[in-house]
């Protein structure tokens, strides 16, 4: 007998509440997760519609009292149905409760009362608004002036995003009449939904010119669109260096897809979601573009989704969560910068947006367009196998040249007694820029920072002999006493000298942005220096503020972590310096070389995007490492060949698959025991290689102990079965009630 858990009313927040019905024999096999069904409800057995969210053979209640599904509704299946089916797929492929999976695909409606969700936007530019504010102040129109001052406080692109209406009426204590008055004067506008204003009305005549596509761009566009008109739906990967004109290609393909009456989702990592990018879409497609970003509240996000469902929007741009917009006729999903780590969800269900995008497109008969300057190994591997169609853009569009790259060997600097974080070469080139009034970006690779031990003389970090990842220092009473592999648990005491060259200069690598800034002030007195890291940005808005300040020529040198490499175009930057390019090689996971290649290639891509030629200084302890050498040459193909052979040898993804099971509990013994039980369960599967249990990278967080077990297997489906088996065990178990479990596929941290 089969039973179905059904959500009766989808429109409300009660997604958690399901009702169980029997699936009648004649409907078995037809009723699936996501099916819209008719069920008798309540004491009067009123017939209502409901969605199946789960199928099981275990009844929750007395079978004799369980009602049966009356029928399937096949006509006009709504978007929710697909999304629920997608949630089912996510649950099955990533391991999560159905509830968490549904919450990931459906923004929960939050009851927002009255005025909430209204935003006040400026209708004039900053200069004019400043004049008006002064006039009001002179006339002692203080409430009006307060509103304008508040808008003037918004920096850079945030200016056009406006301010929350409630903030103005409640916090600034400016009554509705004041806001309305300013509106009648044409100074501001109040709008029901918060979104990027279409600035073309403000900057009439400054619309982006439409470029004539070059040959490579034209080839991609016409191939994809002719596939589309032939009814062929598939996944394409565009590999093109930064500035090669990928966005231009997306827009042309989008235009073609829209002409079939279809809608398009454009995924962009949050950090790259700048005013510049969004504005390009606006000036091309106008008001039918909408944007989702993290500053929207749950309620506002819900409103955006509703607008999309009602057909008021054709293109939705946004980060990971924009993937679940309930379009009626989805035709295409673009995933820009598909290699970005932010596409990986960090909370259960730990899905990857690229994979879910492909699945959603497949369910709906849409195509997927992936793009990157530094594709993920996953995407490139599949493209090489012909699963995706691969396109390449080799040149920078608009004629800009790739920068010249200098590799500096930090071991030589050390030998020559230059202990500064700035090499001789980098110092000289920065001085040159300062003279020429050009700008420099200094990039500190924070990934893996201080999380490993390395030798200052030869640069070796101490690695695990079994896993080809760095050993992590293990602190005991504030002292690093042991080194441990977080993958297999291998452990050694901290050696007194470098195992490779015998030098005593070993330790954690301790540079941070602040230290680099201090050194820069000493080396380049008089230079205007901006620092950007988690401390100086103060949330996402601060991040945009510093970048626009720098873009406007507000500083000579910008020092920052990997955030600085994303998004912005700085035409006057002609030098990019990377302080320790290989730091990320020690990150302790199998993607270390891939991340290093990406970070270095993307950072190098920051220099020389305008007319002036750029230079890059790459400081490294491992000048011969393939990720460094190939990144310096922007030679992705060679990097890929070498990296994929490593993955093949060690059976890492994308060649194979890895299931990580995180066991956590306040009781360490209990967590250890359950982890051991899980390791044994996984070991029952012949094709699965089990690693661990061992401590998780963060072994204890907020008094919760964390253990990891890994299972490796060629076949993803087998790992899903292992997960199912563990889930089933946990459901019945009574011994480990104090433990929780999370699953992660193909992630190692």
Residue 248, binding choice from Zn ion, ligand ADP, none, Cβ under 5 to 8 Å by partner class: ligand ADP
| Binding-site member from 92, 500, 651, 742 for Zn ion (CB under 5 A) | 500
| Binding-site member from 455, 632, 674, 726 for Zn ion (CB under 5 A) | 455
Comparison of 2 and 213: residue with beta carbon closer to ligand ADP:
213
Residue 634, binding choice from ligand ADP, Zn ion, none, Cβ under 5 to 8 Å by partner class: none
211 binds ligand ADP (CB under 6 A): yes
Residue 580: closest CA among 470, 403, 442, 415: 442
Number of residues that bind ligand ADP (CB under 6 A): 15
598 binds ligand ADP (CB under 6 A): no
Kindly tell me the number of DSSP H helices and DSSP E strands found in the chain. Answer: 22, 30
Comparison of 241 and 506: residue with beta carbon closer to ligand ADP:
241
* DSSP-derived secondary structure letter, 470: B
The secondary structure of 107-154, three-state, reads CCCCCCCCCCCCEEEECCCHHHHHHHHHHHHHCCCHHHHHHHHHHHCC
Query: Site mask, ligand ADP, residues 153-192, x = CB under 6 A?
Result: ----------------------------------------
464 binds Zn ion (CB under 5 A): yes
Beta bridge partners of 447: none
State both tokens at 629: 């050498």
Ordered alpha helix ranges (H), 27-110: 79-94, 98-105
213 binds ligand ADP (CB under 6 A): yes
| Binding-site member from 92, 191, 198, 214 for ligand ADP (CB under 6 A) | 214
Residues 468-497 that bind Zn ion (CB under 5 A): 485, 487-488, 490
Comparison of 468 and 549: residue with beta carbon closer to Zn ion:
468
670 binds ligand ADP (CB under 6 A): no
Residues 376-435 that bind ligand ADP (CB under 6 A): 397-398
State both tokens at 363: 């369910």
| Binding-site member from 5, 164, 248, 314 for ligand ADP (CB under 6 A) | 248
697 binds ligand ADP (CB under 6 A): no
Residues 503-562 that bind Zn ion (CB under 5 A): 503
Comparison of 293 and 609: residue with beta carbon closer to ligand ADP:
609
Backbone angles phi, psi at 327, to 5 degrees: -70, 145
247 binds ligand ADP (CB under 6 A): yes
Q: Are 122 and 108 in contact (CB under 8 A)?
A: no
Number of residues that bind Zn ion (CB under 5 A): 15
What is d(CA 488, CA 516) in angstroms, rounded to the nearest whole number? 35
243 binds ligand ADP (CB under 6 A): yes
Residue 245, binding choice from ligand ADP, Zn ion, none, Cβ under 5 to 8 Å by partner class: ligand ADP
Comparison of 5 and 270: residue with beta carbon closer to ligand ADP:
270
Residue 319: closest CA among 300, 290, 355, 293: 293
Residue 247, binding choice from Zn ion, ligand ADP, none, Cβ under 5 to 8 Å by partner class: ligand ADP
240 binds ligand ADP (CB under 6 A): yes
State both tokens at 660: 């990580």
Q: Are 561 and 567 in contact (CB under 8 A)?
A: no
Name the residue with tokens 């699963």.
387
Comparison of 158 and 393: residue with beta carbon closer to ligand ADP:
393
Backbone angles phi, psi at 605, to 5 degrees: -65, -10
What is d(CA 183, CA 166) in angstroms, rounded to the nearest whole number? 16
Residue 464, binding choice from ligand ADP, Zn ion, none, Cβ under 5 to 8 Å by partner class: Zn ion
Cis peptide before 382 (omega within 30 of 0): no
What is d(CA 72, CA 49) in angstroms, rounded to the nearest whole number? 9
Q: Are 710 and 692 in contact (CB under 8 A)?
A: yes
What is d(CA 730, CA 639) in angstroms, rounded to the nearest whole number? 42
Q: What is the dihedral of CA 415, 419, 420, 425, to 10 degrees?
A: -10
| Binding-site member from 33, 35, 235, 242 for ligand ADP (CB under 6 A) | 242
| Binding-site member from 330, 467, 557, 739 for Zn ion (CB under 5 A) | 467
> Nearest approach, Cβ of 277 to ligand ADP (angstroms)?
8
The secondary structure of 30-95, three-state, reads CCCCCCEEEEEECCCCEEEEEEEEEEECCCCCCHHHCCECCEECCCCCCHHHHHHHHHHHHHHHHC
* DSSP-derived secondary structure letter, 459: -
State both tokens at 552: 């406007």
Binding site for ligand ADP (CB under 6 A): 211-214, 217, 240, 242-248, 397-398
Q: Which residues bind Zn ion (CB under 5 A)?
A: 455, 457-458, 460, 464, 466-467, 485, 487-488, 490, 498, 500-501, 503
């Amino acid at each position: 007998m089969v039973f179905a858990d059904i959500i009766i009313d989808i429109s409300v927040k009660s997604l958690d509440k399901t009702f169980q019905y029997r699936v009648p024999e004649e409907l078995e096999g037809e009723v699936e997760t996501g099916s819209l069904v008719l069920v008798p409800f309540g004491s009067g057995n009123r017939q209502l519609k409901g969605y199946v969210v789960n199928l099981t053979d275990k009844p929750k209640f007395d079978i004799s009292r369980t009602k049966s599904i009356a029928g399937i509704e096949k006509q006009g299946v709504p978007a929710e149905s697909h999304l629920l089916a997608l949630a089912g797929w996510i649950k099955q492929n990533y391991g999560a409760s159905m509830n968490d999976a549904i919450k990931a695909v459906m923004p929960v409606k939050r009851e927002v009362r009255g005025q909430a969700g209204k935003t006040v936007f400026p209708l004039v530019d900053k200069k004019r608004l400043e004049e008006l504010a002064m006039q009001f102040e002179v006339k002692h129109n203080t409430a009006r002036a307060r509103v304008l001052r508040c808008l003037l406080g918004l920096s850079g692109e945030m200016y056009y995003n406006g301010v929350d209406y409630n903030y103005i009426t409640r916090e600034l204590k400016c009554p509705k009449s004041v806001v309305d008055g300013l509106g009648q004067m044409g100074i501001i506008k109040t709008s029901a939904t918060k979104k990027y204003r279409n600035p073309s009305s403000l900057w009439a005549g400054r619309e982006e010119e439409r470029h004539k596509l070059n040959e490579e761009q034209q080839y991609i566009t016409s191939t994809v669109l002719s596939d589309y008109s032939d009814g062929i739906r598939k996944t394409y990967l565009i590999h093109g260096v930064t500035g090669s004109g990928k966005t231009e290609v997306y827009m042309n393909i989008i235009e073609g897809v829209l002409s079939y009456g279809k809608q398009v989702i454009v995924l962009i990592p949050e950090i790259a979601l700048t005013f510049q990018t969004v504005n390009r879409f606006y000036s091309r497609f106008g008001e039918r573009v909408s944007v989702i970003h993290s500053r929207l509240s749950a309620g506002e996000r819900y409103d955006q989704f509703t607008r999309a469902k009602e057909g008021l929007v054709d293109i939705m741009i946004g980060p990971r969560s924009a993937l679940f917009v309930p379009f009626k006729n989805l035709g295409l999903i673009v995933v820009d910068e598909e290699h970005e780590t932010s596409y990986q969800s960090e909370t259960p269900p730990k899905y990857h947006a690229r994979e879910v995008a492909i699945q959603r497109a497949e369910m709906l008969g849409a195509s997927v367009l992936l793009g990157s300057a530094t594709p993920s190994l996953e995407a490139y591997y599949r493209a090489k196998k012909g699963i995706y169609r691969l396109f390449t853009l080799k040149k920078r569009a608009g004629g800009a040249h790739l920068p010249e790259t200098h590799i500096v060997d930090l071991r030589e600097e050390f030998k020559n007694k230059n202990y500064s974080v700035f090499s001789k070469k980098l110092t000289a080139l920065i001085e040159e820029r300062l003279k020429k009034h050009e700008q420099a970006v200094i990039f500190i690779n924070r990934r893996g920072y201080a999380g490993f031990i390395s030798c200052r003389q030869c640069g070796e970090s101490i690695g695990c002999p079994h896993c080809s990842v760095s050993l992590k220092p293990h602190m005991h009473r504030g002292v690093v006493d042991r080194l441990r592999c977080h993958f297999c648990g291998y452990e050694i005491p901290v050696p007194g000298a470098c195992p490779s060259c015998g030098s005593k200069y070993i330790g954690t690598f301790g540079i941070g942005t602040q230290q680099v800034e201090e050194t820069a002030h000493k080396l380049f007195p008089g230079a205007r220096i901006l620092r950007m890291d988690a401390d100086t940005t103060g949330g996402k808005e601060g991040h945009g503020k510093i970048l626009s300040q720098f873009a406007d020529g507000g500083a000579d040198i910008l020092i920052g972590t990997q955030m600085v490499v994303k998004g912005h175009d700085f035409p006057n930057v002609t030098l990019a310096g990377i302080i320790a390019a290989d730091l990320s090689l020690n990150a302790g996971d199998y993607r270390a070389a891939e991340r290093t290649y990406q970070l270095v290639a993307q950072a190098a891509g920051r220099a020389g995007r305008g007319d002036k030629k750029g230079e890059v200084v790459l400081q490294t302890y491992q000048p011969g490492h393939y990720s460094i050498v190939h990144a310096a040459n922007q030679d992705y193909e060679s990097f890929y060949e070498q990296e994929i052979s490593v993955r093949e040898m060690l059976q890492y993804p994308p060649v194979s698959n890895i299931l990580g099971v995180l066991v956590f509990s306040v009781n360490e013994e209990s967590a250890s025991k359950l982890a051991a039980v899980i390791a044994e369960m996984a070991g029952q599967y012949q094709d699965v290689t089990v690693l661990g249990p061992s401590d998780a990278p963060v072994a204890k967080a907020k008094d919760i102990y964390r253990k990891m077990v890994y299972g490796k297997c060629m076949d993803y489906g087998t790992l899903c079965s292992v997960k199912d088996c563990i889930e089933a065990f946990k459901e019945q178990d009574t011994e480990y009630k104090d433990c929780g479990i999370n699953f992660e596929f193909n992630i190692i941290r």
